[in-house]
A and B are shown apart, each in its own frame.
Chain A
Amino acid sequence: MLIALFASLALQPPIPTEAPEIVAALTQDVVEIREDFSGTELIIFGATSGLTLEDEIVVVLRGPDQDIRVMEKRRNFGIWMNSAPAEFTQVPSYYAIASSRPIELIADSAALARYNIGLDHLLRTAQPNEIGTMSGLEQVDGSAPRELPPMDQDDLETLAPYREAIMRTATRDALFAEASTGVEILNGGLFVAHMALPPRTPIGEYTAEFYLFRNGRAVDSSVSPMEVRKAGLERIIYEFAHQAPIMYGLFCVALAVLFGWGANAIFSRRG
């Protein structure tokens, strides 16, 4: 069916006056994590209509959001302690961008911010109140409690190292990634995007967003859902541990005792 779709699109000559459109199909909308999972590559095919030479394609794959707390180590009495926590809400557990050109050449920062594209625009919602009170940093407006604080310059500066820390950690585990050549534009308005899912790929509901950029503006976009889930034995064990924790706990202990007894029986017979 997909091939038929491609074929019909390929036959259409690209006419600049036609309303630009982007559609995509995931080769797999469920990624299964089994016991031998050590990362995988996701290949996404898509088609556009009305594609011109100066058009660019951006694909964003976003994992389930999570709330995280970042703490800075400070030296107290000679030892390094976690202190000055700051909380970041709705941070994607996985975030990858693939584009047909380096993203900064496709659109300027303001435009990317408007569409919420790019690592720079990810970590916007922090709670600077907490960092102000707990770190001993001077608070901007100590008396008045701020409701959903607008990001003023001080907060941005204070939180900058925290953002960098999140970026550093996630990039190291390949959970945040930017591939400036991850999208390949083929003939006839077709494209293919390659995204890497690392060994630590989190479980949950993902969204794949597709953008067609022209002159620094997104002229069309579409979204496809995707799911990453445990499968096979991994899924059985995970569900066992979470749905029947008492049985699971007893099972773990019993198995360990059995192993210990078995080893002893084998070795004492021989010795």
Chain B
Amino acid sequence: MQIYLPIAEMSVSIFLLLGLGTGVGFLSGMFGVGGGFLMTPMLMFIGIPPAVAVSTEANQIVASSASGALAHWRRQTLDVKMGVLLLVGGTAGSIFGVQLFAILTGLGQIDLIISLSYVGFLGIIGGLMLVESARAVMRRNQPAAPGATTDLRRKRHWIDVLPFKTRFRRSRLYISVIPPIVIGFFVGTLAAIMGVGGGFVMVPAMIYILRMPTNVVVGTSLFQILFVTALTTFLQATQNHTVDIVLAILLIVGGVIGAQFGARAGRHVKAEELRMALALMVLAVCVKLGWDLVVTPADLFSILPVGGEAH
């Protein structure tokens, strides 16, 4: 059954969109990532204009992260104070990113920048996470060197010397407010440019840079993503008129259902294995996008409307 999307101005199979929403929603609930880094490339692949795909995906992530954040709120695995600080940076980053997106679209280079950003970030983060989680799994399987982990945790880190320290009770941390704000800004920019919530950057940043305990990382990440993507959706709707509510609703319906099952499935898997699986998934998307950049394209020419606007 086909449905006509009023903003994307094309008709797409309703079941394809629902299926995409459910599948990506499952992964998002399981790993605490928005799933945008999977969904946005897929939407573009089925022919949705990039500007509409990015903006509408932000709208979908609002729903999936609201659902996830509420679940974590109930389980008290959400550090609101940390989330608010990340959000301060994220708001600025999102505003900056939407402007940058408009400029790059005008230059006709937005596709390349999106792909390069994906390959760069997914490659680095996926690689680091894979190595770390593989080590953690091996350590658990052969508990020969018990001192190693605690030493690593206690070691003085560069973020410990930064000023404006404050206490994050739920995360059991006493650190400067600067790193959360900087990380938030960075992720907010990515959210606007790449049509992602930024969870795949945020989650590892919170684990490895802020050294937050893993159990509050996912909830806090979802909390921040909720607000940043809400702002991104609003800015894209007002500035670029590229949010397609019909497309968004279909993806949301699939997504929220998938996310609930995913969150349940995630609780039965050990944290290290979950991180390793996420790392592998991130690397797979990275390799695919990287390959597409290098291999000779099927059509060397691309056709864009003058002025960069979708209409």
Contact = CB atoms under 8 A, between A and B. Distances in A.
Interface of A: 33-39, 66-73, 78-82, 85, 87, 161-162, 165-166, 168-169, 199-200, 202-203, 230, 233-235, 237-238, 241-242, 245-246, 248-253, 255-257, 259-264, 267-268, 271
A82 B293 CA distance: 11
A248 B237 contact: yes
Interface residues of B, number: 60
A69 B245 contact: no
A168 B4 CA distance: 24
Nearest to A267: B260
Of the candidates B6, B7, B111, the one having the most CB atoms from chain A within 10 angstroms of its own CB is B6
Given A33-B4, A37-B11, A241-B237, A73 B302 contact: yes
A249 B297 contact: no
Of the candidates B230, B246, B293, the one having the most CB atoms from chain A within 10 angstroms of its own CB is B230
A238 B2 CA distance: 18
A257 B62 contact: yes
Contact of B245 (A38, A68, A237): A237
Contact of B304 (A39, A69, A252): A69
A129 to B, nearest CB: 15
Interface string B45-82: 00000000000000110111111101100100000000
A165 B74 CA distance: 55
A239 to B, nearest CB: 9
Given A162-B301, A245-B238, A264-B70, A251 B245 contact: yes
B43 to A, nearest CB: 16
11 contacts: A36-B2, A71-B108, A73-B297, A79-B294, A80-B296, A82-B302, A245-B241, A248-B243, A252-B233, A257-B226, A259-B63
Of the candidates A235, A261, A267, the one having the most CB atoms from chain B within 10 angstroms of its own CB is A267
B211 to A, nearest CB: 29
Interface in B252-311: 252-253, 256-257, 259-260, 264, 293-294, 296-297, 299-307
Contact of B233 (A34, A80, A249): A249
B59 A238 contact: no
B234 interface: yes
A80 B298 CA distance: 12
- Please classify the interface of chain B as helix (H, G, I), strand (E, B), loop, or mixed, using the class held by over half of its residues: helix
B3 interface: yes
Given A34-B4, A82-B109, A268-B74, A71 B304 contact: yes
Contacts of A260: 62-68, 70, 252, 256
Contact of B303 (A81, A165, A238, A241): A165
Contact of A73 (B71, B253, B300): B300
Given A253-B234, A256-B59, A259-B252, A38 B302 contact: no
Contacts of B39: none
A261 B70 contact: yes
Interface of B: 1-4, 6-7, 9-11, 59-60, 62-68, 70-71, 74, 108-109, 111-112, 116, 226, 230, 233-238, 241, 243, 245-246, 248-249, 252-253, 256-257, 259-260, 264, 293-294, 296-297, 299-307
Contacts of A230: 6
A237 B6 CA distance: 7
B133 to A, nearest CB: 28
A33 B71 CA distance: 40
A35 B4 CA distance: 5
A238 B6 contact: yes
Contact of B300 (A72, A234, A242, A248): A72
Given A241-B243, A249-B234, A271-B264, A36 B3 contact: yes
Contacts of B237: 241, 245, 248-249, 252
B107 to A, nearest CB: 9
A35 B246 contact: yes
Of the candidates A39, A80, A256, the one having the most CB atoms from chain B within 10 angstroms of its own CB is A256
B301 A80 contact: no
B303 A253 contact: no
What 5 pairs across the A-B complex have the smallest Cβ distances? A260-B66, A165-B301, A249-B237, A263-B256, A256-B62
A246 B241 CA distance: 10
Given A69-B303, A260-B65, A249 B243 contact: yes
A253 B65 CA distance: 12
Contacts of A33: 4
A234 B7 CA distance: 9
